[in-house]
Structure 1
């Protein structure tokens, strides 16, 4: 899976996926034990494509690299790569990439009778109430996060 940079902002850098064919990796469908391996276990081998696993709608899918710590409680850390699907309908409690007052940000959507809020997953950051005064668009929904170890 390759990508092309399309936008670099303060909080997120966006990429478009370039889905490739013929680059499937070997997938060992045995479960990886964190304890002692079983010597009697047979290995079942099949091919796995991360493109097919992570991208459900190629035309509406983008990647963005996280910059900042506002979503660490949700497991989104600085330099993580987000998979964002713009075709998914926004809903309460989804993690969304939003365009807010000239900047992209990633936050959890909270929608209730009092309105819409962007909730960070770090207590050091404030909850943002969306009002009519904001320039606001829900740009896409985060479907996966890719981490380096």
Structure 2
């Protein structure tokens, strides 16, 4: 198995970015307002500051085993993952039934949901336009890690 960081030959053109988590001690915390934010009629938020939040602590449980990759395409839209979303992937988590994983299939990266049964394993998209991918012996498949979070930017 080739590490996603050690070799770029596994990275197809559709994958825009892969980054390892580097612990450089450059952490900072931002104000965290623990009060729920109204999506309807607004409520004043003055005196709701509860603490400070460091997103590294919130998103990365195992820094040495974590990397980031940017999603491309619409195959996982049913899981709330859109093209351009940043995916946080943890290689230390065992891929189990129902988890969303990053896999290399014949040298191409993909993000899909892992399904395990007595008949074998397959990767499934969260979009009915895409067929399941059975993980057979003739397919060169490597599960790179489990997606733990996805981050979306809003213009």
Task: Report the TM-score range of the alignment, normalised by the length of the smaller protein.
Answer: 0.7 to 0.9
Q: Given the alignment, which residue of 26, 35, 39 partners 2:31?
A: 26
Q: What is the root-mean-square deviation in Å for CA atoms of aligned residues? A: 2.0
TM-score, normalised relative to structure 2: 0.84
Q: 1:138 to 1:41 in 2, by over 3 A?
A: same
Runs (4 or more) in structure 1 with deviation over 6 Å come to none
1:22 shift after superposition = 4.2
Structure 1 position 10 matched with structure 2 position 13: yes
Q: Give 1:71's aligned residue.
A: 76
Task: Structure 1: state its 5+ residue gaps.
Answer: none
Q: Give 1:121's aligned residue.
A: 126
Partners of 1:18 and 1:99 in 2: how far apart?
23
Alignment of 1:85-100 (within 5 A): 85-100=90-105
Checking the alignment, whether the CA contact within 8 Å between 2:95 and 2:101 is kept in structure 1 is: yes
SS of 1:18's equivalent?
coil
Checking the alignment, whether the CA contact within 8 Å between 1:109 and 1:118 is kept in structure 2 is: yes
Partners of 2:95 and 2:138 in 1: how far apart?
21
Q: 1:14 to 1:32 in 2, by over 3 A?
A: same
* Structure with the bigger percentage of strand: 1
Structure 1 position 134 matched with structure 2 position 139: yes
1:39 shift after superposition = 5.2
Higher mean Cα deviation, 38-47 or 60-69?
Answer: 38-47
SS of 1:99's equivalent?
strand
Q: Give 1:81's aligned residue.
A: 86
Partners of 1:109 and 1:40 in 2: how far apart?
41
Structure 1 position 51 matched with structure 2 position 56: yes
Partners of 1:106 and 1:89 in 2: how far apart?
16
Checking the alignment, whether the CA contact within 8 Å between 2:21 and 2:64 is kept in structure 1 is: no
TM-score, normalised relative to structure 1: 0.88
